[in-house]
């Protein structure tokens, strides 16, 4: 699913993280009552810098989206 579609569906992009911060952020948002979605980064060819996403980079970066849990 594309980022634009997630946002239209009510998800908020929170940031891009790697471990161990990724797990900490996910746990924090869950404890605050959010549904958490973690997406592997696949960078589109949009002219932005891609160095952090390069396959040779030692970081496994993922994007975190959240949505408030409906009660």
Rounded to 5°, angle at Cα 59 from 55 and 65: 100
pLDDT of res. 61: 85
pTM of the entire predicted model: 0.78
Number of domains in the chain: 1
pLDDT of res. 9: 95
At 21-69, the pLDDT tens digits run: 999 999 999 999 999 999 987 654 555 666 666 666 667 889 999 999 8
Tally of residues, the chain? 71
pLDDT of res. 46: 53
pLDDT of res. 47: 57
pLDDT of res. 7: 93
> In the structure, how many helices (H) and strands (E) does the chain have?
2, 3
């Amino acid at each position: 699913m594309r980022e634009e579609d997630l946002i239209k569906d009510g998800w908020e992009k929170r940031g891009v993280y790697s471990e161990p911060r990724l797990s900490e952020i996910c746990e924090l948002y869950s404890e605050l009552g959010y549904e958490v979605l973690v997406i592997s980064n696949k960078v589109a060819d949009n002219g932005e810098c891609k160095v952090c996403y390069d396959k040779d980079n030692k970081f496994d970066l993922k994007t975190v989206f959240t949505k408030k849990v409906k009660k």
